[in-house]
Amino acid sequence: MPAFSTALIAWQKQHGRHDLPWQNTSDAYRIWVSEIMLQQTQVAAVKSYYLKFMQRFPQVQSLADAPLEEVLALWSGLGYYSRARNLHRAAKIVVQQYGGKFPEDPLLIEQLPGIGRSTAAAIAVFAYGVKAAILDGNVKRVLSRTHAIEGYPASPATQKQLWTLAESLLPPQEIQAYTQGLMDLGATICVRLNPKCLLCPLHSHCQAYKQGRVSHFPTPKPRRALPVRYATVWILRAEQGVWLESRPPTGIWGGLLSLPQTEGHWQAGQALPEFPSLPGQVVDPQLLPSFTHTFTHFKLQIQPVLTSLQQPFTVKAAEALGRFILPEEIATAPLPAPVKKVLLALLVTDCL
C-alpha cells in the first residue's frame, strides 16, 4: 500500500472522527442525506437537522412519499433550498427506478438530481465499499498541498489534474478509513488557515510543507482583469484660477468638484472639445503624462491636458455648473484624489 494512504488510514483509525450521527452505517440513504446536508454547511450545524430529518424520514420511501412543503419545512434554516428539492426528487427516482435501493455504481448515483461526482463516490465508498475517489473542497486543499499542485482548484485543468491524482492515490484496501481520513484531515488538521502541520500524519509526504510553501496552496481564485476605460481631463487655466466642474450627485466622484472630462484620450493635433460648463476658447493644449486610477469595477486611464482659456470669456452663465479655484485652494477643495494629485504636482512646478 502506498505510504501516503498507509499513514492516512493509521491516523484516521486513531485520531479521526468516528461518532458523527451519519457514521457507523452502510445505509446509502442515511449517508446520502448527510453528504447533501454537509455540502454547504458545517458539521456542527448539520447534526441537529440531520437527526430531525431522519426521525421524520427514516427511509427513502418516507421521503419520497412526503409533500415537498414538509421537506422544505424541515430544511428551513439550513439554506440552499435547492438541495432539499433535489433530495425529494432523487428520493422519488430511487423508489421508482431502483425499488428503493440506491445503485452501487458511482456513475449511476451521479445521475440523480443534486449529486455530483464526489458525492456519488462518497456514497458508494461508505455504503458499498466501492473503490472511488472523492474530491470535495477539503480534499482539494489537502491534495493541492501534499502534491504542490499549482493552479486554482476549480479551474478545469487543475480539477482534472486533481481527479487523476485522487484516483492514483486510492489504496487497495480500507477505502472507507482512507476516504474518511481525507475528509477528517481536511476538516481538522489541514485547515484553510494555519494548518496544524506538526500534528499531520502526512507531513513527511507533503511537498508544500517540505518547500515551506504551505500558505501558497491551494492557488487562490484568479482575480478577474478589470476592464479599462479611457478619459481625458482638462486643466483649464485662467487669471481666476483653474476651472472645475461640479460632478453629478451620483456616479463616480459624485458631488465632488473635478476637472472637465471627455471620453477617450485626446491626441495632439485633434480638434479641441467644447466645454458646455464654460463657454470660452481653449488654447495651447499640452499633453501631461497619463496615469491609471482603479475603481472597484474598472480602471480609468486618465490623460491630463494642460490648457489656457483665451480672454475674454463668460463665466456667469456657467456658475451653477462649476467654479474657478485658486491655486492655494487646491489642497483643501473637495476634489477626487487623482485630480488633486495632478493639480498639486502642477502647482509645485509653477504651472498653475
Catalytic residue positions, numbered = 35
Distance CA 259, CA 61 (A): 71
CB of 134 to ligand SF4, least distance (A): 16
CB 4 within 8 A of CB 178: no
CB of 198 to ligand SF4, least distance (A): 8
Task: Name the nearest CA neighbour of 310 among 275, 346, 342.
Answer: 275
CB of 205 to ligand SF4, least distance (A): 8
Told to check if 12 binds ligand SF4 by CB under 6 A, we report no
Under rule CB under 6 A, how many of the chain's residues touch ligand SF4? 14
The CA-based diameter of the chain, rounded to the nearest angstrom, is 92
> Which residue from 30, 83, 145, 147 is in contact with ligand SF4, where contact means CB under 6 A?
145
> Which residue from 146, 176, 180, 232 is in contact with ligand SF4, where contact means CB under 6 A?
146
Pick the closer one to ligand SF4 by CB: 206 or 233: 206
Told to check if 36 binds ligand SF4 by CB under 6 A, we report no
CB of 142 to ligand SF4, least distance (A): 5
> Which residue from 114, 153, 181, 195 is in contact with ligand SF4, where contact means CB under 6 A?
195
The secondary element (H helix, E strand) that includes residue 37 is helix 28-38
**How many Cβ atoms from other residues are within 10 Å of residue 215's Cβ?**
10
Residues 113-142: x where in contact with ligand SF4 by CB under 6 A, - otherwise, as a string: -----------------------------x
Q: What phi and psi, each to the nearest 5 degrees, are found at residue 209?
A: -65, -45
Told to check if 169 binds ligand SF4 by CB under 6 A, we report no
> Which residue from 20, 108, 169, 197 is in contact with ligand SF4, where contact means CB under 6 A?
197
Told to check if 209 binds ligand SF4 by CB under 6 A, we report yes
Pick the closer one to ligand SF4 by CB: 83 or 203: 203
Q: Which residues contact 350 (CB under 8 A, 6 or more apart)?
A: none
Told to check if 202 binds ligand SF4 by CB under 6 A, we report yes
- Binding segment for ligand SF4 (CB under 6 A), chosen from 59-67, 88-96, 196-204, 233-241, is 196-204
What SS3 class is residue 124?
A: helix
Q: How far is CA 171 from the centre of its chain?
A: 33
CB of 27 to ligand SF4, least distance (A): 31
Q: Which residues contact 218 (CB under 8 A, 6 or more apart)?
A: 140, 141, 144, 145, 149, 152, 153
Task: Name the CA radius of gyration of the chain, rounded.
Answer: 32
Told to check if 208 binds ligand SF4 by CB under 6 A, we report yes
Distance CA 47, CA 42 (A): 9
Output the CA–CA distances (angstroms, integers) from residue 57 to 88, 90, 100, 303, in the order listed.
11, 14, 13, 67
Told to check if 214 binds ligand SF4 by CB under 6 A, we report yes
Residue 27, phi-psi category: left (phi > 0), alpha (psi -120 to 50), beta (remainder):
beta
> Which residue from 122, 200, 257, 343 is in contact with ligand SF4, where contact means CB under 6 A?
200
- Binding segment for ligand SF4 (CB under 6 A), chosen from 101-109, 192-200, 231-239, 259-267, is 192-200
Distance CA 336, CA 345 (A): 14
Q: How far is CA 129 from the centre of its chain?
A: 35
Q: How far is CA 172 from the centre of its chain?
A: 36
**Pairing relationship of beta strands 322-325 and 241-246 according to DSSP bridges:** antiparallel
Pick the closer one to ligand SF4 by CB: 7 or 242: 7
Distance CA 346, CA 288 (A): 10
CB of 225 to ligand SF4, least distance (A): 30
Told to check if 10 binds ligand SF4 by CB under 6 A, we report no
Told to check if 166 binds ligand SF4 by CB under 6 A, we report no
Distance CA 242, CA 260 (A): 11
- Binding segment for ligand SF4 (CB under 6 A), chosen from 2-10, 122-130, 195-203, 218-226, is 195-203
Chain residues that interact with ligand SF4, rule: CB under 6 A: 142, 145-146, 189-190, 195, 197, 200, 202-203, 206, 208-209, 214
